[in-house]
Structure 1
Amino acid sequence: MEEDRHRQVGCCGAALIDSDGHDQISYGNFPSFREAFSALGFLKLYPNYYRTKLSSGVKNDSDKTRAVDYICGADMFLRKTVLEETGCFDTDFFLYFEEVELSRRIKKAGYLSVILPKVKIIHYESASLGGSLLNNEKAKFLAKSRHIYFRKSQGVLSAMLINKVYALQALVFLIVKKNLSYLKMAGILFRS
Structure 2
Amino acid sequence: MSQQRILTILLNYRTPEMTLQAAEAALREMEDLPGELLIIDNGSGDGSFEQIRAGAEARGWLDSGRLRLLASPVNGGFGAGMNIGLQAGLADGSAPEFYYLLNSDAFVQGGTIRTLRDFLLEHPGAGLAGSYVRGTDGEPHRTAFRFPSIAGEFEASVRTGIFTRLLKPWVVAMDMPQGEVQVDWTAGASLMIRREVIEAAGGFDETFFLYFEETDLCRRAARAGWRTHYVPASEVAHIGSVSTGMKGWQRTPQYWFDSRLHYFTKNHGRAYAAAATLARISGSLIYGLRRLIQNKPQADPPHFLRDLCLHSLRALIAPRRSPSSETRLPSPLAKEQK
TM bucket normalised to smaller:
0.7 to 0.9
Who is 2:280 aligned against?
A: 166
For residues 276 and 165 of structure 2, the distance between their equivalents in structure 1, rounded to whole angstroms, comes to 23
Q: What secondary structure does 1:119 align onto?
A: strand
For residues 171 and 300 of structure 2, the distance between their equivalents in structure 1, rounded to whole angstroms, comes to 23
Who is 1:116 aligned against?
A: 231
| 8 A Cα contact 2:131 2:232, kept in partner | yes
Gaps of at least 5 residues in structure 2 are 1-116, 312-338
Instruction: State the identity %.
Output: 25
Who is 1:56 aligned against?
A: 172
> Equivalent of 1:187, from 289, 293, 306?
306
Q: Once the 2 structures are TM-superposed, how far is the Cα of residue 22 of structure 1 from its aligned partner?
A: 0.5
For residues 137 and 40 of structure 1, the distance between their equivalents in structure 2, rounded to whole angstroms, comes to 15
Q: In the comparison of the two structures, how many residue pairs are matched?
A: 189
Output one character per residue of 1:21-63: Cα deviation in whole Å (capped at 9) or x when no partner.
Answer: 1011212000000112223437512646755x2222336241x
Who is 1:45 aligned against?
A: 162
For residues 282 and 196 of structure 2, the distance between their equivalents in structure 1, rounded to whole angstroms, comes to 42
What letter matches 1:6 in structure 2?
Answer: H
For residues 183 and 137 of structure 1, the distance between their equivalents in structure 2, rounded to whole angstroms, comes to 8
| 8 A Cα contact 1:14 1:75, kept in partner | yes
> Equivalent of 1:100, from 203, 210, 215?
215
Q: What secondary structure does 1:114 align onto?
A: strand
RMSD of equivalent CA atoms: 2.6
Paired residues for 1:10-21 under 5 Å: 10-21=127-138
Distance change in 2, residues 1:157/1:37 (3 Å): same
Q: What secondary structure does 1:128 align onto?
A: coil
> Equivalent of 2:196, from 62, 81, 84?
81
Distance change in 2, residues 1:171/1:141 (3 Å): farther
Larger radius of gyration: 2
Who is 1:32 aligned against?
A: 149
TM (normalized to structure 1)?
A: 0.85
Q: Which moved more, 1:40-49 or 1:91-100?
A: 40-49
For residues 40 and 121 of structure 1, the distance between their equivalents in structure 2, rounded to whole angstroms, comes to 29
What letter matches 1:119 in structure 2?
Answer: S
Gaps of at least 5 residues in structure 1 are none
